[in-house]
Amino acid sequence: MRYQARIVAAALGAALLLAGCGDGGSTENGGTPPDTNVSATPDFPVTVGDLTVATKPTKIVALSPTATEVLFAIGAGPQVVAVDDQSNFPANAPKSDLSAFQPNAEAIAGKSPDLVVLSNDMNNVVAQLRQLKIPVYVAPAGKTLDDTYRQITDIGALTGNRPAAEDLAKQMRTDVDKLVKDVPQRSTKLTYYYELGPELYSLTSKTFVGSLFAQLGLENIADPADADGSKGGYPQLSAESLVKADPDLIFLADTVCCQQNADSVKARPGWSGITAVKSGQIVGLNDDIASRWGPRTVDLLRQIVDAVSKVPA
């Protein structure tokens, strides 16, 4: 089940962010025209970290929904020959049966890639691919927006799309800075609850999404539930503690996977007295956008800022 996968991934921390589902969003390819000149290789060989790519890749395999979104947003889409079975954005990405959770080196090699981009070294797949002389770039789940910007520019360099990648990262910084600046100042911080599933799994301010809320000056009621970080930033709350915390805002990142919405939240026993419920400040998010750390993070932040701005000062 998709929801079970999300919870297992939550326990694994970063792997959660592979489990986004559904579709949606407004930036089909990040607004960047595709680069069809895949034969030009003026910038190669290029080295990022310990990875050197000799010539511009023309057969890229992406094993991460976020990596897929980045590749298409920087114009590398025509170079992508296959993406994993969880990648569903943009719609024209060449989805395959390759698993990001249980990657199989032999199956990946069957696509004859000259570059593989993934987010987790499950099944020791990185070593296996390198043994097959296939270049691999690992882009783990971001913890901050700086991680996102760095991965975008790294992937841009490795795929021969450096200018478009740098432009995208720059535009994201500009958009994020403006959104943060536009948040109304308050004398008292607003509190919020971020729901990953109806079993009340949440996230703390030390996670990527939590860091977005922290930038906006919001207080996360889930932070005390994982103060020492032993739960990887993804604690499960009790209904009693959540009601007692009385958040001003509730964000639902389980609207697609688990069909949660304002009505289902209102119907939960004891929840009718929570400020966010009484005030109608329950915000439904797209599961995918809310679980990936790529270009559409700006869309997520915009939705959060919009909700916060509507709360009376």
The tens digit of pLDDT for each residue in 117-131 reads: 999 999 999 999 999
Distances in whole angstroms, Cα of residue 32 to Cα of each of 21, 91, 104, 288, 302: 24, 15, 32, 21, 20
pLDDT at 43: 82
Answer yes or no: are the C-beta atoms of 288 and 89 closer than 8 Å. yes
Contacts of 57 (CB under 8 A, 6+ apart): 79, 113, 114, 115, 135, 158, 159, 160
Per-residue pLDDT, 9 = 42
- For residue 231, the tally of other CB atoms under 10 A from its CB is 18
- 114 sits in which H/E element: none
Pairing of strands 191-195, 282-284: unpaired
| Domains of the chain, earliest start first | 46-174 (3.40.50.1980), 184-310 (3.40.50.1980)
Rounded Cα distance, 62 and 82, in Å? 7
Beta pairing class for 51-53 and 46-48: antiparallel
pLDDT of residue 12: 39
> pTM for the complete prediction?
0.86
Strand partners, 47: 52
- What residue ranges of the chain have pLDDT lower than 70? 1-42
Radius of gyration of the chain (CA): 20
Residue 41: the pLDDT is 60
Q: What is the pLDDT of residue 312?
A: 87
d(CA 205, CA 220): 7
